[in-house]
Structures are given as structure tokens and as C-alpha cells.
Amino acid sequence: MTAWLLRRLAASVAIVFAVLTLTFVLIHLAPGTPFLPSTDDRSVGPEIIARLRRQYGLDRPLPVQYLKYIGSVAHGEFGESFSQHRPVAQALADAVPNTVLLGIAALVIEFTLGIALGAYQAARARRRVDAALSHLTLFFYSVPTFWLGLALLLVFGQWLRWLPVGGVSDPIVHDTLPWAGRVFDTLRHLVLPACTLGLVGAAGTARYQRAAMLEVIHQDYIRTARAKGLSERRVLLRHALRNAVLPVITLLGLSLPFLLTGAVLVETVFSWPGMGKLAADAIFSRDYPVVTAAAILAAAMVALSSVVADLLTALADPRVRLGDGDAA
Amino acid sequence: MTQPGGTAPLLAVRDLKTYFVTGRGGGTARAVDGVSFELYPGETLGIVGESGCGKTVTSLSILRLIPEPPGHIRPGSYIEFDGRNLLTLAPRDLRAIRGNRIAMVFQEPMTSLNPVFTVGDQIAEAAVVHQGLSRGAARARAIDMLRLVGIPDPETRVDDYPHQLSGGMRQRVVIAMALVCRPQILIADEPTTALDVTIQAQILELLERLQAELGMAVMLITHDLGVVAGTADRVVVMYAGQVVETASTAELFAGPRHPYTEGLLASIPRLDRPADRLTSIPGNVPAATHWPAGCRFHPRCPHAWDKCRREEPPLLDAGTPGHTARCWLVVEPQRRRPAP
Amino acid sequence: MLRTWVSLAVLVAGSTGGAFALRRRCERTGRGRRFFRHPTATTGVAVLTFFVLVAVCAPLVAPYDPSAQPDPVGLQNRPPSWLHPFGTDLYSHDVLSRVVYGAQVSLGVGTLAMLVALTLGAVVGAIAGYTGRWIDAVLMRLVDVGIAVPRMFLLLMAVALWSRLPLGTLIVLIGVTGWFGTSRLVRAEVLSLRERPFVDAARALGARSGRVIFGHVLPNAAAPLIVSAALGIGHVMLLEAALSFLGIGVRPPVASWGNMIADGRDLLTIAPWISLVPGLGIAAVVMSLNAVGDALRDALDPREEAT
């Protein structure tokens, strides 16, 4: 178990390391000297560029730069943000909690709603409700995340005015509110972005869950459970669902990349100051240190989440024993 | 050994018809087509036939475990238990009988246990649902049941998951699971088919011992007349969705009246017959969507004549009480052709 | 304007009729009947055919030049009318014309990028699965890395570093970041096929590795590839839309459904049609692609044969 965990973590570190290398290569393949601020500016003379190059160590040989780069990343230093004039680490430290909050809320919606819908559909398989829900999930699975965000924003934020249209909190009154009021204010701001992200994910999960559930429902042990005199509810919710959820847990680990991708868009639509918006904004301001730092962090999160998903699967499925035969 | 003399039957199946609608335009498969028999308290009834004869569907129909759709039990079918028709019972009342008064053991111990629950949980579950056992009592009951079915070290085994047990052990667990509420009827559908021969004997012995201890009636469904010979009191032989012969075990083996039964008997190896006489019935069971007209066995029957092709024989009394056969030979024995 | 209505009607009739004719033919000949048994397959084929035809016949269908700005002052953000069925946008472009030409870009980018990804994935997967040993190990670790990086971040980084990307490069980039899953699929398929007798036979006849892979193994792995291609186009279309929405994908004045949604973003309250229409277009096409992909998977899955 411990050995397995160590091995998996080592693999994750290796993956992050590879991503680091990749970003380094990309940066140096790129035209110009992107890691220097304001070199696009025509007015900057060559001698200033040379000085900046020296200052940022860009005149050293590539292997030295590479080692230095790895070393500083290992210390959590991603350099200085050009646009925000502060260390990238600080900007990330402000943004990551917001993304984590949004991500967790979206994951909760994605999996509770997705599993419930899929299980319900499987129980009513090939009836009219199932067909209707299948079309609905197919729609949400196919619609662009940011477009759904805009549509929700238009309906609930602009027309109905039930919910705020963006941001993480009310800029004027938030700080004057008592503790509970501040939490409520944040939750109100969270509803639309989390629903946007969660609904798209839930549609995918529901499609997957329905298929998994349908496969389980035809297993012999479901018949055994019925023969025991259990209620249909107990058969489905206890015996079938528990088995059908197992593959979905693996999906949880795989869904994180999509969630982060979605976060870039949803955070942009709702001006949610998280990692995704930080990265997207950084692109427009040509703030390369921030972009690369966000990519590395995202890769690390994905690698870690797949370890967590494997752990969860092992917890939920007594047949899976960590440590043997997980080479793949 | 209870004889079906004067006692009332515990379970009476009357004209059971279970049909399956197969894919588009495929027609209706009449898997069980007018089956009747009785099960008496305390007896072991063997139900015998080749695969595809409808014996498993019959057993599943009793507890209404047929997947619907595609299957359905035709109106007019009747299964009487405890003075009520199981087929028209409200789902709630039916569930009170399933696993509590009538329990089932399935063929595949590998797949009929849920992989994600401990065997203890699964054994006790029926008792928890039907008798409202507490957590602690449920665990104690599960341990008792494991001991009853002869699993060593039940206190630790109770927390095992199915995949940690061998095939024979799993079938013992399945039996323990079925017996946890002390049912009056145990339906065992090919309980030994998936097991090694030595384990088969152990499981049959176990079933016999438990039946004696608990006084229940057992319906033993099998394709193997050898299994029936050692355990059953009476035998129902099924062919093509129908009962073709019923008799006490002794009588069936001594004087079968249906050519199909004769064929089945001839195909089991016996010590008192030279091995080169071992025969098999020619041909296969026809498709359930297209049963032959007349006697359904006539295409494979060595004695068939034109009446067999035209007219379907009813179950005819074959002399001794309780012995019936669905064959015109019972009334026209002169038509029997001598064995080649 | 009349030309637009007539050609749209013809295309709707043609694609629906075509899809149903195809279904009837499949039902008669028996081939592909399992595909059409899927409840949404016929609709999916019809919708896809319609949009492909619209893209191909864009000059015929579009009532105006998509980048014409007839009256930047008087014709701004007009709601749908007879002359502008989907309204106009901030620059007085006709939204319908832009959606029609945008279909060319969106469908084109989706198809081409998917082809790039599919080719790369098939080649890498086949090589890894067929040669095995260290080549396999190295390639698969590379795939692990590729899957671990969220594609969006990789693209963001690449696009940001190179700034103004030509459309062709964008397509290649999307393709290059999207082959990892396909290569795993192909590798698994090749591994299971490698030991089959017909591969041995080909090898015994002296065929070279490349010939064995591309002539014998890959054609047999076609089924999962076709399915992943159908689903992949939809995926790429969503990605292109996302990138264009962020302003780093297809650049105006060329219209793509993604940058059209972005154009309408700030006008959501006063002119929602600008974003709404292209969004529905994407949803319709991706839905059909997913429906067709699902149906293909069911039809090509040998396990389904029994039921």
C-alpha cells in the first residue's frame, strides 16, 4: 500500500517534471524572448534588451537556464508576473482557492446529479422518461461550456435578476456583512459558475452512469438480491448502485482535466478570479510566467487527482488491492 | 421421506405459461407452456430436463423473477402457496414471501454473490429485511448460518468478500443466504453444475442434511438424472416447455413411461450396463419459438407414428398413482418398437 | 433573400430525405441496420448532412457577404427580421451569413484537426503496440504526460507564446495536442491483434513490419478508430469554439461560431441573438456527432451481436 502510494507519487512527480521540461522547451522555441517583459515594445533599444537578458539570466547557456528554471520552480518560484508586478506565486496563491472552491462545487453537482440521473434512467430504461433525459443529457454534453454560462447568465442574472452576474463576492457590501452574510454572498456568486461547470460534467457522468448501471442490473447478483425479497429501491440503490459507481470513481480522476479546461472558460465568463481566469488574462497581457506556472500547476493537480481516484477505487472496491499489477 | 399421500401440497403450480417476446419479428418463445405440478411439505422434488426445456424459467416464474420485458407470465397461470396465488400478489406481499418463506439458490456461485459486500452482510440481509434484525444480531446470525453450512472458522469468514472464497465455499454461502429465514421451500437451480465433482457431492449432501434438519421442501432443478437419483423423492421430467412425465424417483428409474425419460436414463453411465450401450437422444431441443405440432418430442422419438405428429398427448395416468406420462404409448403400448 | 430561403428549404428536404433513404436502404440490405436501430441515429445523420451541405453551399445559402458592413451606424444589433433572419451584430454584419460561413470554418477545423490527431494517434499507437519493449515504454510515458496536461493549458501556452497564429497552424496544434487517447486505444487494439493468426501469417510470408502494421493490423482496429473520430470532431469543435471565445482561436474578420459567441458576449442583454444562434449551431452539430458516434459504437461493438 505504502509502496504503491510512493510509486504512484513518484510517477506523478515524473509527469510534472516532464511537463516542466515541455514548457521550458516551448518557451525557448517561441520567437523572440518571451520571458522578458515589454520587448514587444518597439521603443526599447537593443542595449536595454541585452541588459534585461543579463538581469533575467537569459544570456546563459541553455542547460544552465534549464537547471535554474527547474530549481526555482522546485522552490515554488515561478518568477515575476509582468502584468501584476508581483511574484507569480502570490498571484497563484490568490487565485487557486477560488478555483478549488469552484471546482469542488462543480464536482459535487457533477457527481451527485450525474449519478442520480444515470441511475434513475437505468431504472426506467427504454421508457419515455429515459429517452427524454437521454436527449437532455446529450444536449448538455454537447453544448459549449462558455455558451451555457452565457445563457444562464442572461436568464438568471440579467432577465430574472435572481443571481449576481459575476465575481466572487459583492464588491460594495461584502466586507460590511457579518460572517454568515459573507458566506451567503459568496455562495450566491458561486451558484451560476458552479452550475455551468457542473451541468456539463453531470451530463457526461449521467451518460456513463446509465450505461454502467444497465450493465450491472443484468448481473446474477441483482437477481439474487430480488430473490431475497428486497424492495426494488434497496436492490437498485444498495446492490446495483454500489457496483455501478465503481467505474464512475475512476471517471472522477479523469474528469479533472476537463474541469480545469472548463474553469478557464467559466471563470472568464463569470469574472471569477481563479486560476483559469488568471491564465486567460495572462495570455492577453503576454504574461508568460503566469501562463506556464498555471500549466504546471494544472498538470500537477491532474497527476495528483488520478492517484486520489485510484485510492478511492481501492477503498470502494474490495477486489482491488493496491500494489499488485498496477503497472499500467 | 414424506410421501405425497393425503397431505395437501405446499406449492401448486397450475398451467403455468411464461412466454418471451424475442426481438423484432422474432416471434414469441413459449419457454414454459402449461406446466403443472405440486410440491409437498418436506419432500425433495427433482425437476429434470435438457437445457432449454424451461425448467429454470419455471423456477424463476414461481417467485416472479422473470425479467419483464421481454418475458411475461400469461394470465390464467396459477401458483398457489399458502392459499394465495403468487402470480397476482401485490409486490409488497410477494416480497414478504421471497427469501423469507420461499428461497432460491442459483447455479453460479461466482456471479450470484455481490462482489462489493461481505458474505456476512449478504447472508444476514434477508433476515434484516424480513425480521428486522439489529446489526449485532444480524452478524451473529450470519456466523450461525456459516457454521450451519459447514464453513470452518465462521467468525473470520463472515467479514470476507466473495472473491476471497473458493467456488465450493461460495455455493455454501449462497445456500446459507437462502436459508437464513428458515424458508418452507428452497428452490435450488442447478446448485452443483458449476462445481467440481467432489464438491458437487458435498453440496448435495449438505442440502440433504439441511433439509432433514430444517424440515423444508426442496425443489431441485437439474439436467443430471444422477443428481436426482440420490436426492429426490419424486421427479418431474420436462421437455419443450411441458411436463412429460411425473413419478416417484424409484418408479421413474425402474419403469420410465416416456421415450424422452428413457433416453435420458439411457444416457447416464451405469455400473450395471456395459459402457458401449451408452446412448444419447438424437437431435436437439427445438427452438421455443417453433415447437413441433402434435407431440413435441415426436421428431426425436424412435416410436413416433402419425398420431404423434397430429395430436398432442395429455398427461396420462401411467398405472400407479402419481405416475403420469405425456405419451400415446401409455394408451397404445403395442405401438412401441423393439429396441434395435 | 429568396435564394436563401429556397436553398435552405432544399437543403433541409435533401438532408432529411437523404438520411431516411439511407436508413431504408440499410434496412433493406441488412448492412448497417444496427446503426439505424439507435433512436437518434437518423436525426443525427440528417442534421450533420444539413450542416455539411450548408458549409459546402455557403455562397448559395448566405444572403450577404459575411464580412460586409452595410451600415455600421443604422444597422447595428438589429433583432431578427425578414431581411436578417438571425438579426445583425455590432458591426452590422448579417448574423445568418456569418453563421453559414462560420460553419465552413468550424466544421473544417474540427474535421482537419481530428484527422491530424487520428493519424498521429494511430501511427504512434500502432508503433508502440507492434514493436513493444522500450519504444513502447517511452511512447506510452509520453502519452501519460500528454494526458496529464490539460489540453487547454497546453494550447493556451503555445498560442500565447507564438501570438498571431495562422489557421493552419491552429489546426495542427489542436491535432498535435489531441492524439494521446487515440494512441492508447490503437495500442490496446494492436496488442490484442498482434498475436492473431492472420498477423503471424503475414509475417511468415515475409511482410515487413510497416506493411504488417498498416496493411493488416490497423484495418482490423478500424472500428474503435471510427467511433473515436466521430466523437473527436465534436470535441475539437468545442475546443475551437473555446479558443476563439478566448480570442486566441480563429481571428476576426473570419467568422467562426466560437468567435461569434465572443462577439456577442458583451451585447448579451441588448442583442442575445448574436451569441445564441452560433451556440445553438455548435450544440446541434456536436449533439449529432455524439449521437452518430454512440450509434456507431453500438453497431460496431461485437459484444452486442448476441442481443
Would you state the cell numbers that stand for residue A316, as one nine-digit string?
A: 470502494
- C166 inside 8 A of chain A by CB: no
B105 near B187, Cβ under 8 Å?
yes
Cβ atoms within 10 A of the Cβ of A283, count? 22
Q: A93-102, A262-271, C65-74: which has the minimum mean pLDDT? A: C65-74
Side chain identity at residue A167, one-letter code: G
Query: Chains contacting C with at least 3 CB pairs below 8 Å?
Result: A
Domain ranges of chain A: 1-328
Nearest to B116 among A220, A226, A242 (CB): A242
Q: What is the pLDDT of residues C35-64, one digit of tens each?
A: 777 777 888 888 888 888 888 887 887 777
Q: Which residues of B119-156 are buried (b: 16+ CB within 10 A; e: fewer)?
A: bbbbbbbbbbbbeebeeeebbebbbebbbbbbbeebee
Domain ranges of chain B: 11-101+183-335
The average pLDDT across B92-110 equals 86
> Which residue matches cell numbers 419455471?
B58
Residue A38 has pLDDT above 60, yes or no: no
For the segment(s) C2-65+86-304, the CATH number from 1.10.569.10, 3.40.50.2300, 1.10.3720.10, 3.30.420.40 is 1.10.3720.10
Q: Which residues of B42-67 are buried (b: 16+ CB within 10 A; e: fewer)?
A: bbbbbbbbbebbbbbbbbbbbbbbbe
**By C-alpha distance, which of C37, C39, C41, C23 is closest to C288?**
C41
Strand partners, B186: B103, B218
Side chain identity at residue B163, one-letter code: H
Q: What is the pLDDT of residues C118-135, one digit of tens each?
A: 999 988 888 888 787 888
Residue B84: helix, strand or coil by DSSP?
Answer: strand
> Which residue matches cell numbers 428452497?
B186
Ramachandran region, residue A170 (left: φ > 0; alpha: ψ -120 to 50; beta: rest): beta
Chain B residue closest to A241 (CA)?
B116
pTM for this predicted structure = 0.80
Q: What are phi and psi of C2, to 5 degrees?
A: -60, -40
The average pLDDT across A126-154 equals 88
Side chain identity at residue C234, one-letter code: G
Q: What is the pLDDT of residues B224-242, one digit of tens each?
A: 888 888 888 899 999 888 8
Contact list in C for residue A31 (CB cut-off 8 A) is 162
Architecture (CATH level 2) of domain B11-101+183-335:
3-Layer(aba) Sandwich (3.40)
Q: What are phi and psi of B102, to 5 degrees?
A: -125, 125
Q: Could you give the CA distance from residue B36 to residue B39 in angstroms, rounded to a whole number?
A: 10
Residues 14-33, chain A, touching C (beta carbon < 8 A): 14-16, 18-19, 22-23, 26-27, 29-31
Q: What is the pLDDT of residues A180-196, one digit of tens each?
A: 888 888 888 888 999 99
**What number is the ipTM of this complex?**
0.82
Residue B5 has pLDDT above 60, yes or no: no
State the pLDDT confidence band at B279, using cuts at 50, 70 and 90: low
Ramachandran region, residue A58 (left: φ > 0; alpha: ψ -120 to 50; beta: rest): alpha
> Which residue matches cell numbers 481566469?
A277
**What are the C-alpha distances in Å from A257 to residues A264, A299, B334, C150, C229?**
11, 8, 82, 5, 20
Chain A residue closest to B130 (CA)?
A229
Q: Could you give the CA distance from residue B98 to residue B324 in angstroms, rounded to a whole number?
A: 31
Contact list in A for residue C147 (CB cut-off 8 A) is 257
- Numbered residues of chain B with Cβ closer than 8 Å to any chain A Cβ: 63, 65, 91, 95-100, 103-104, 106, 108, 111-118, 125-126, 129-130, 161, 163, 174, 177-178
**By C-alpha distance, which of B30, B2, B1 is closest to B17?**
B30
Q: Could you give the CA distance from residue A209 to residue A245 in angstroms, rounded to a whole number?
A: 7
Per-residue pLDDT of chain C (307 residues; tens, 9 = 90+): 777 788 888 888 888 888 888 888 877 776 677 777 777 788 888 888 888 888 888 788 777 777 777 777 777 777 777 777 787 777 778 888 888 888 888 899 889 999 999 999 988 888 888 787 888 888 888 887 777 777 777 777 777 666 667 888 888 888 888 888 888 888 888 887 777 777 777 777 777 777 777 777 777 777 778 888 888 888 888 888 888 888 777 777 788 888 888 888 877 778 888 888 888 999 999 999 988 888 888 777 655 433 3
The domain A1-328: what is its CATH number? 1.10.3720.10
Residues 212-241, chain A, touching C (beta carbon < 8 A): none
Chain A residue closest to C144 (CA)?
A15
Residue B57: helix, strand or coil by DSSP?
Answer: helix
Nearest to A19 among C149, C265, C276 (CB): C149
Cβ–Cβ pairs < 8 A, chains A and C: 145
Among A126, A228, A239, the residue to mutate for chain B (most B Cβ within 10 A):
A228
Residue A81: helix, strand or coil by DSSP?
Answer: strand
**What are the C-alpha distances in Å from C159 to residues A98, A295, B97, C154?**
25, 13, 68, 8
State the pLDDT confidence band at A321, using cuts at 50, 70 and 90: low
Q: What is the pLDDT of residues A230-249, one digit of tens each?
A: 888 888 888 888 888 888 88
Domain ranges of chain C: 2-65+86-304
Measure A316 CA to nearest chain B CA, in Å.
Answer: 8
Nearest to A239 among B99, B114, B163 (CB): B114
Q: Could you give the CA distance from residue C28 to residue C35 in angstroms, rounded to a whole number?
A: 13
Measure B112 CA to nearest chain A CA, in Å.
Answer: 4
> Which residue matches cell numbers 438568471?
A156
Q: What is the pLDDT of residues B164-222, one digit of tens each?
A: 888 888 888 888 888 888 888 999 888 877 777 777 888 888 888 888 888 889 999 98
B58: Cβ contacts below 8 Å, ≥ 6 apart: B13, B16, B18, B32, B35, B47, B221, B238
- Terminal Cα-to-Cα distance of chain C (whole angstroms): 51
Asked if the peptide bond before residue B282 counts as cis, ω within 30 degrees of 0, the response is no
